[in-house]
Amino acid sequence: MRTLWWEDGQLKMIDQRLLPLRHEIVSFDDYRAVAKAITDMVVRGAPAIGAAGAYGLALAARQSTARTREGLLADLAAAKRVLDAARPTAVNLTWATRRLFNLAQRLTDAEPDALRAALLAEAERLANEDVEINRRMGAHGAAVIPHGANILHHCNTGSLATVDYGTALGVVRAAWERGNPVHVWVDETRPRLQGARLTAWELMQDGIPMTLIADNAAGHLMRSGKVDVVLFGADRVAANGDVANKIGTYKLAVLAKENGIPCYAVVPTSTVDLSLPSGDHIPIEERPWEEVTHIDGVQIAPDDVRVYNPAFDVTPHRYLTGIITEEGICYPPFEISLRRAKEAAEARIRDA
* β-sheet bridge partners, residue 6: 11
Contact call for residue 315 and ligand MRU (CB under 6 A): no
Q: Cβ closer to ligand MRU: 11 or 234?
A: 234
CA distance 130 to 142: 18
Here's the x/- map for ligand MRU, 112-151, by CB under 6 A: it reads as ----------------------------------------
Among positions 46, 127, 133, 200, the unique one binding ligand MRU when judged by CB under 6 A? 46
| Given the residues 235, 242, 273, 313, the one annotated as active site | 235
One-letter amino acid identity for 349? I
> Binding segment for ligand MRU among 7-15, 55-63, 230-238, 315-323 (CB under 6 A)?
230-238
Q: Cβ closer to ligand MRU: 75 or 130?
A: 130
Three-class secondary structure assignment of 66-133: CCCHHHHHHHHHHHHHHHHCCCCCCCHHHHHHHHHHHHHHHCCCCCHHHHHHHHHHHHHHHHHHHHHH
* φ, ψ (nearest 5 deg) of residue 5: -160, 165
Contact call for residue 159 and ligand MRU (CB under 6 A): no
Contact call for residue 246 and ligand MRU (CB under 6 A): yes
- Give residue number: closest CB to ligand MRU: 233
- Closest approach, Cβ 82 to ligand MRU, in A, equals 19
Among positions 42, 91, 100, 161, the unique one binding ligand MRU when judged by CB under 6 A? 161
Contact call for residue 269 and ligand MRU (CB under 6 A): no
One-letter amino acid identity for 326? E
Give, as ranges, the residues between 183 and 222 that touch ligand MRU (CB under 6 A): 194
Give, as ranges, the residues between 59 and 118 that touch ligand MRU (CB under 6 A): 90
Q: Is 153 left (phi over 0), alpha (psi -120 to 50) or beta?
A: beta
> Binding segment for ligand MRU among 1-9, 226-234, 315-323, 343-351 (CB under 6 A)?
226-234
Half-sphere exposure of 154 (CA within 13 A, CB side): 31
Q: Cβ closer to ligand MRU: 99 or 153?
A: 153
* φ, ψ (nearest 5 deg) of residue 183: -135, 140
Contact call for residue 233 and ligand MRU (CB under 6 A): yes
235 as an active site residue: the answer is yes
Among positions 162, 199, 270, 321, the unique one binding ligand MRU when judged by CB under 6 A? 162
CA distance 68 to 87: 31
How many residues are there in the chain?
A: 352
- Closest approach, Cβ 266 to ligand MRU, in A, equals 8
- Closest approach, Cβ 84 to ligand MRU, in A, equals 15
CA distance 162 to 51: 8
Q: Cβ closer to ligand MRU: 122 or 313?
A: 313
- Closest approach, Cβ 330 to ligand MRU, in A, equals 16
Among positions 94, 240, 245, 325, the unique one binding ligand MRU when judged by CB under 6 A? 245
Contact call for residue 3 and ligand MRU (CB under 6 A): no
Chain residues binding ligand MRU by CB under 6 A are: 44-47, 90, 155, 157, 161-162, 167, 194, 232-235, 245-246, 311
Tell me which residues are annotated as active site.
Answer: 235
